[in-house]
Amino acid sequence: MKSKNYSKKILEVFKKEGFVFSEPDVLLDSNYIIQRSGENFKKLMLTFEDDSGKNMCLRPDLTVASCVKYLEKNSKGTSKIYYSGQAYRRSNNSKDSIVIGQLGLEIIGSKKKYSDDKEVMNTILKAINKIKIKNVTVNIGDVNLFRQLIESLKIPERWKLRLIRHFWRPKYFKDLLYRLETNSDIDPIAVDFDKKRFSEMKKLNQNQEIAGRKISEILSRFDKKISDPRSFTEGKMTVKIIREFLKITCPISQTDKCLKKFFKKYNIRRSVINYELPIKSLSKIGYKIIFSTNFGRDLEYYTGMVFEILALKNKQEIARGGRYDDLLKSLGSKKNISAVGAAINLNNLSRILK
């Protein structure tokens, strides 16, 4: 099947499902993207200076470019769009093309999160089925589950922030777990000094000021600081829970059972963990669908459901997508805007259909 033919069939599915064509800008302000979308994009971007000396880049990602356009148009309400175009990315592999053809879709500004997740996944799968690619597998996860797990654990706030912030950096994240497990970041001498000073200051006049702050304020900060240190046993158990959580992998039909078993084992209240994956609709499609708590850690802007579709023939990624509710705020919106999208990789698709 020629590329024009299958692209046409895919776009017909997008249109039939009610998506409207939109063409994101090819050129973007590179400093704006790096500052607001994280350093992960910096290593991918093809940058240059325009005639005025401004740093520009070719769009490394059509989702980001679509969000920038949404904000520039001052759009309000739901925007249900599709696009056909190229992303331009660097790669460490010299065999990879820097130009990636994509056919994608986005739902921005809708409050129907669960149904939008299902709609995006189902539309992509319908498009793949339309061009008669049958031997595929779907990997799905929910990166928000990790955040909720960490928030439920009894560890210092600074550690919660660290683990959530660096979830996207597996190598550094592994080092963090080691430090948490062994208490290697805690100086027992400094802890003892803090505790001694805390006891002494409690006996002083609480309204007295030191360096412009009341003693009561200083004691409040001291209280948080000296309550941070963990025992070796606590750190070790916390890391055990996190590592075991990130090993959960199962058919999507077993997801609820596996997660409930894990929560029960470690006495984690089910009420503090909420997950809504498009399970019911996906179970009827007939593809092999695998859920993993460790999936979706390679792109920092995802906030919830994330998925990829692979061809079993050569393990090529056909499509990828997910929910990214924080991205538009990072790009300049005054508040978070609900958004979910996915894109089909035409480069990989052409290799699969040869």
Instruction: Reply yes or no on whether the pLDDT at 277 is more than 90.
Output: no
Amino acid 187: pLDDT: 47
Instruction: Reply yes or no on whether the pLDDT at 260 is more than 80.
Output: yes
13 confidence band (pLDDT: 50, 70, 90) = very high
Please report, for residues 190, 205, 315, 350, the alpha-carbon distance to residue 217 in angstroms, rounded to integers and kept in the order given. Answer: 20, 12, 58, 64
DSSP secondary structure code for residue 271 in this structure: G
Q: What is the rounded distance in angstroms from the CA atom of residue 123 to the CA atom of residue 35?
A: 32
Best mean pLDDT range from 83-87, 97-101, 131-135, 178-182:
83-87
**Average pLDDT of span 47-61:** 86
Sign of the alpha-carbon dihedral angle for 109, 114, 119, 125: positive
Instruction: Reply yes or no on whether the pLDDT at 209 is more than 90.
Output: no
Chain segment 261-272, per-residue pLDDT in tens: 999 999 887 666
Domain residue spans of the chain = 1-134+338-354, 152-241
Amino acid 262: pLDDT: 93
Predicted TM-score (pTM) above 0.85: no
223 confidence band (pLDDT: 50, 70, 90) = low
Q: What is the rounded distance in angstroms from the CA atom of residue 81 to the CA atom of residue 109?
A: 11
Amino acid 109: pLDDT: 93
**Average pLDDT of span 169-196:** 73
Chain segment 58-99, per-residue pLDDT in tens: 888 899 899 989 988 877 788 999 999 998 888 777 777 889
Q: What is the rounded distance in angstroms from the CA atom of residue 22 to the CA atom of residue 4?
A: 19
Instruction: Reply yes or no on whether the pLDDT at 120 is more than 70.
Output: yes
189 confidence band (pLDDT: 50, 70, 90) = very low
Architecture of domain 1-134+338-354: 2-Layer Sandwich (3.30)
- Specify the higher pLDDT residue, 264 or 285: 264
**Which residue do the tokens 């520009």 mark?**
56
Classify 210 as helix, strand or coil: strand
End-to-end CA distance of the chain: 8
Asked whether the beta carbons of 140 and 306 are under 8 A apart, the reply is: yes
Q: What is the DSSP string of 107-164?
A: EES-S-HHHHHHHHHHHHHHHHHHTT--SEEEEEEEHHHHHHHHHHS-S-HHHHHHHH
Residue 113 CA, chain-centre distance (Å), reads 15
- Specify the higher pLDDT residue, 126 or 298: 126
Q: What is the rounded distance in angstroms from the CA atom of residue 319 to the CA atom of residue 308?
A: 6
Classify 216 as helix, strand or coil: helix
Asked whether the beta carbons of 331 and 28 are under 8 A apart, the reply is: no
Asked whether the beta carbons of 23 and 54 are under 8 A apart, the reply is: no
Determine which helix (DSSP H) or strand (DSSP E) holds 104, and give its type and residue range. strand 99-108
127 confidence band (pLDDT: 50, 70, 90) = very high
Pairing of strands 136-142, 305-311: antiparallel
Asked whether the beta carbons of 117 and 306 are under 8 A apart, the reply is: no
Amino acid 350: pLDDT: 84
Instruction: Reply yes or no on whether the pLDDT at 354 is more than 50.
Output: yes
Q: Kindly calculate the radius of gyration of the chain based on its CA atoms and give it in whole angstroms.
A: 24
